[in-house]
Amino acid sequence: MARKPKRRILTGIEIGTSTIKVVMGEFRPDDNLAIVGFGQAPSQQVQKGDVLDVETVLAQLALAVSAAENASGLAIDGPIFVAATGAHIRPVIAVGRTMIQGPGHTVTEEDVVTAVQCARSYSLPPDQKILHTWDRSFQVDDGAKVSNALGRVGDWLAAEVLLIVGQHSPLETTCAMVQELMGCRARDIAFSGVADCFAAFGNEDAELGHLLIDIGAGVTEFVVYQGNGCYAAGQISVGCDHIANDLSIGLHLPQARCKMLVRHLANEGCSVALASEDRQRLIDVRTGSGSGRRVSCASIEKIMALRLGELFHVIRDQLDRHHALDRIGGGVRLCGGGALIPGVTTLARGIFGMPTEVARPRLLSGSPDILDAPHYMTPVGLLRWGRLMLEIDGEEEVPTWRQQFLLEARRCVGIFRDSFTL
């Protein structure tokens, strides 16, 4: 009797400011991602993606891992992929130049690789590491910037690339925790915004161009997904916890109660904040010791709108400075816990002047708790990102229909990719 092939289960781990999430999944031949198990645990001693107490976080990570394994009925023994977030991550736009060596001064693949490698040699402090490299544009001599320079004729080729850079220490800390708990290294680590894009977008979305904004508890990440992949990216150290802090100051309520209020608005879909139809409606908010107060929806709405509006304006200004707004043809998608705040899509639509909606994972099957959960986009996206990395490294069998896509991916990210190692 033929032995049944072993299931290839991939695992994504996100250690966020408020929650640790673990997702296990396997890919079907039709590219559908089936979630076989997931778990989460409260995140303690994590601030803006930075681990403050390793032992505490390890204990909570163990709870999330155990919940995922119990839900799936399987032990995690396949490749593990981890999300990177926090104030230490930043984008760098670098330019590399090379003389065109192709026959008749025609740009070849070798010229492209050389120019990108020159850009990638951008001098970084010794404590920082490149997580991702994405081609932005190419320019032959003084011609127009194009997304593909192959076949063009000239003397010089310039490559403009986006480098996503993080500090070595917090990245190492995260990987070391995974190794201590699981007994093996994480296979790779990806910026949370990149993982979000892999969960939300397909090839057709990259051609049109989209802006994805992940509003977390401690930080907000954003990525313009266009052309060869990530055209622009960044993070801002503002999230839902800052909204809770603003409510605490403006309403004279304990911050812990305001955090609960923000979670209630997001989780329950309550129409009390920005989308409230009855602005004079009052809601009961406990202030501690069993006492409570009635607060108007209009007051909550105004405070939340000011903070979220400021956040969106900052993102828009940054994208405008890097000439990325005109790359967004498909609109804005929001994810993370903040995407569930009522009325946030309307606010973003007005500021960016583009269609805006809540992001949902594509080609996904499994628990309904995952299918429509924008706050699970990162660990789900890690599985799609992870599969691509395994394919690029020759560790995963590639279906015929994906081979052309893989060739493009190798050219854009695979040639210049480093697996994260200590």
Is pLDDT at 277 greater than 60 in this prediction? Answer: no
Q: How confident is the model at residue 274 (pLDDT cuts 50, 70, 90)?
A: very low
For residue 269, pLDDT beyond 60: no
Range of the domain at 132: 90-166
Residue 269, domain CATH: 3.30.420.40
Give the end-to-end CA distance of the chain in Å, rounded to a whole number: 43
Look at residue 269 and tell me if it is in a domain: yes
pTM: 0.90
- Spatial distance between the Cα atoms of 233 and 336, rounded to a whole number of angstroms: 16
Of the three residues 115, 142, 166, the one that is the final residue of a domain is: 166
Within a domain: 239: yes
Q: Is residue 131, in this structure, part of any structural domain at all? A: yes
Q: With 0-12 CB in 10 A as exposed, 13-18 as middle and 19+ as buried, what is 255?
A: middle
Q: Which residue's entry shows tokens 């607060």? A: 295
235 and 153 within one domain: no
Q: Are residues 102 and 225 in the same domain?
A: no
Q: Are residues 332 and 242 in the same domain?
A: yes
Whether the pLDDT of residue 405 is over 70: the answer is no
**Is the same domain home to 217 and 352?**
yes
User: How much is the average pLDDT of 305-312?
Assistant: 95
Asked if 211 and 282 sit in the same domain, the reply is yes
Q: Which residue has the higher pLDDT, 5 or 34?
A: 34
Token pair recorded at residue 305: 């709108």
Please state, in angstroms and rounded to a whole number, the distance separating the CA atoms of residues 292 and 68: 37
The radius of gyration of the chain's CA atoms, rounded to the nearest angstrom, is 22
Tens-digit pLDDT profile for residues 204-237: 888 899 999 999 999 999 999 998 789 999 999 9
3-state secondary structure of 45: coil
For residue range 62-80, what is the model confidence (pLDDT) as tens digits? Answer: 999 999 999 999 999 999 9
State the DSSP string of 222-263: EEEEETTEEEEEEEES--HHHHHHHHHHHHT--HHHHHHHHH
Q: Does one domain contain both 239 and 317?
A: yes
Can you spell out the DSSP letters for 272-323? Answer: TSTT-S-TT-EEEEEEETTEEEEEEHHHHHHHHHHHHHHHHHHHHHHHHHTT
Q: What is the mean pLDDT of residues 2-8?
A: 65
pLDDT tens-digit readout, 158-200? 999 999 999 999 999 999 999 999 999 899 999 999 999 999 9
261 and 344 belong to one structural domain: yes
Q: 272 or 35: whose pLDDT is higher?
A: 35
The overall average pLDDT reported for the chain is 87
Percentage of residues in the chain with pLDDT exceeding 90? Answer: 61
**Domain assignment of residue 181, yes or no:** no
Position 55 scores a pLDDT of 95
Which of 6-10, 36-40, 323-327 is predicted with the least confidence, judged by mean pLDDT? Answer: 6-10
pLDDT grade for 280, boundaries at 50, 70 and 90: low
The predicted structure's pLDDT at residue 257: 84
Are 122 and 253 contained in the same domain?
no
Residue 279 has pLDDT above 50, yes or no: no
Q: What is the reported pLDDT for 206?
A: 84
Do residues 214 and 343 share a domain?
yes
How many separate domains does the chain show?
Answer: 2
Asked if residue 25 is part of any domain, the answer here is: no
Query: Is 319's pLDDT higher than 90?
Result: yes
Q: What is the pLDDT, as a whole number, of residue 270?
A: 45
User: Which one is predicted more confidently, 6 or 308?
Assistant: 308
- Residue that terminates a domain, selected from 317, 340, 360: 360
Range 34-60 average pLDDT? 92
CATH of the domain at 103: 3.30.1490.110
For residue 348, name the pLDDT band (cuts at 50, 70, 90). very high
Whether residue 387 is contained in a domain is answered as no
In this structure, is residue 391 part of a structural domain?
no
143 and 216: one domain? no
Q: Tell me, what's the pLDDT at 3?
A: 55
353 pLDDT more than 70: yes
Residue 72 placed within a domain: no
- Top pLDDT among 253 and 291 is at 253
The per-residue pLDDT for 82 is: 96
Please identify, among 327, 342, 360, the residue that sits at the C-terminal boundary of a domain: 360
Indicate whether 286 and 212 sit together in one domain: yes
Instruction: Please check whether residues 223 and 334 belong to one and the same domain.
Output: yes
pLDDT for res 1:
45
Higher pLDDT, 306 or 207: 306
